Amino acid sequence: MALLDIRTIPDQVLRELAKPIDNITGEIVRLSEDMIETMIGARGAGLAANQIGLPIRLIAIDASLNPKEKSHIILINPVIVETQLEENGEEGCLSVPGYYEFVKRAKKVHAMGIDLKGNTVEFECEGQLARAMQHEIDHLNGVLFIDLLSPLKKNLFKKKITKKDK
């Protein structure tokens, strides 16, 4: 297994619409294992393939957010089928290092995808798992959590980033 480089803003791959995965190959399985190692090494709660430079529809979510199965979640071509209620919660992102902000998201989500064996799997998510699922699927659509901020908070973020670059 290998630790992969995590892309950070303003890398354009983070803004790409990820392509569906048609075949689960040994390469996809190895990639998912590397994504888990990379996520753990970076102390992240989740990781999307675009974050490592591959715009394909593959996400990994840490086992600590999956109390029922107590295992990491790997989802191929994940989608959110239904959302319920809303809540504000703090988020950060491995691709936006050092920045945390409160973001409004669905409190509960029903998500579906394909596991590494080719089976369709479904998740009824609440709390941090629901937040992580939405966050990682957003990545596959080229959306970062900073895009969900209010105009005022987006401006503050841009000023902070501009200062950092100088």
CATH number (domain holding residue 98): 3.90.45.10
Has residue 2 been placed in a domain?
Answer: no
Has residue 128 been placed in a domain?
Answer: yes
pTM: predicted TM-score of the whole model, two decimal places: 0.93
Q: Where are the alpha helices (DSSP H) in 48-117?
A: none
Work out how many domains the chain is built from and give that number. 1
Has residue 6 been placed in a domain?
Answer: no
Helix (H) or strand (E) holding 157: helix 151-165
Has residue 4 been placed in a domain?
Answer: no
Q: What percent of the chain lies above the pLDDT cut of 90?
A: 81
Has residue 129 been placed in a domain?
Answer: yes
- Given this model, what pLDDT does residue 13 score? 97
How many Å apart are CA 51 and CA 1, to the nearest integer? 17
How many Å apart are CA 4 and CA 27, to the nearest integer? 14
Is residue 151 scored above 70 in pLDDT?
Answer: yes
Has residue 160 been placed in a domain?
Answer: yes
Q: Which residues are catalytic?
A: 136
Has residue 73 been placed in a domain?
Answer: yes
Has residue 74 been placed in a domain?
Answer: yes
Structural domain span for residue 20 = 12-165
Using 50, 70 and 90 to split pLDDT, how confident is the model at 130? Answer: very high
How many Å apart are CA 141 and CA 138, to the nearest integer? 5
In tens, the pLDDT along 61-95 reads 999 888 777 889 999 999 999 999 999 999 999 99
